[in-house]
Structure 1
Amino acid sequence: MANLLEQDITGKIGTQKYLCTISWRNGKLVMDEPKSIGGNDLGPDPYSTLLASLAGCTLSTLRMYIDRKGWDIPEINISLNFSQKQNDELETTISRAISFSNEITTEQKERLLLIAEKCPISKLLKNKITINTQL
């Protein structure tokens, strides 16, 4: 199975508690934990970064569709959070609320809901994921 990314995402952490540097093709992202659990809050925590990926993918997917349709929707807003509960397995629910700067029709709303579900990160998170770890 071929990799989807041209280059690996890499990361490193030094001795400063929870402060990580994540690198990709041509950029760096600092990740940290909130002060409430011992970090310095210098960047998003891993949960926020995961939700940010879903937010960015959803917004970009919707923008491409809206532009292709020629609809007058200049701004798309999104808000995400998640909750978890323990049953037999850990169950995670992501809440995603999308709004627009202009009023949209019922037909547009129904279509854009379907398109949001088709963003690649939505599809990835809803499918079976296997993590192969090596040392």
Structure 2
Amino acid sequence: MPTTVVRDKTLPMRHIVHVRNHIISTDLSAEEGGSDAGPSPHDLYDAALSACKALTVLWYAKRKGMPLEDVQVSTQRDDSEERKGVYRLAATLHLTGELTVAQREELLAVAAKCPVHKLMTAVTTEVTTVLG
């Protein structure tokens, strides 16, 4: 099923993203001419990495019977060299539960193998754009 983006003409730049039965508002900041009525496309890109890491770690811990109570991921963006071809994301895992040091390290390694991390770092993504 495709992801579809439709303009919301009630605001200057806002669009609505449709993914299956879910909707997400996306917009640009006021400085960029938007109304900041939702995360920007860059924010969504960064969020995809954070969400993937969190879900992957939780899935793995449940599968292995680890006592992980909660996982949170915060990701910091450094786009200062994006125009030069370098976009940096620094993700920090916050794990709670009675985990051993070895389990914490194992979950850290698992987070680095989440599918979106792999897509961003180890896969060539080919994008085509056509008129419909």
Tell me which interval the TM-score lies in, with the shorter structure as reference length. 0.7 to 0.9
Deviation by residue 1:8-43 (Cα, 9 ceiling, x = unmatched): 001122543220111121121110112232211111
2:3 aligns to what? 9
Question: Counterpart of 2:97 in 1: which secondary structure?
Answer: coil
1:131 aligns with 2:127: yes
Gaps of 5+ in 2: none
Shift of 1:105: 2.4
Using the size of structure 1 for normalisation, the TM-score is 0.85
Aligned match for 2:69, one of 66, 74, 82: 74
Higher RCO (Cα < 8 Å, 6 or more apart)? 2
Question: Counterpart of 1:8 in 2: which secondary structure?
Answer: coil
Using the size of structure 2 for normalisation, the TM-score is 0.87
Q: Is the 8 A contact 2:73 2:94 kept in 1?
A: yes
Q: How many residues align?
A: 129
1:37 aligns to what? 32
Gaps of 5+ in 1: 1-6
Aligned match for 1:52, one of 47, 67, 75: 47
Which consecutive aligned stretches of 4+ in structure 1 deviate over 3 angstroms post-superposition?
85-89
Q: What amino acid is the match of 1:8? A: P
Q: What's the % identity of the aligned pairs? A: 26
Distance 1:82 1:52 in 2: 10
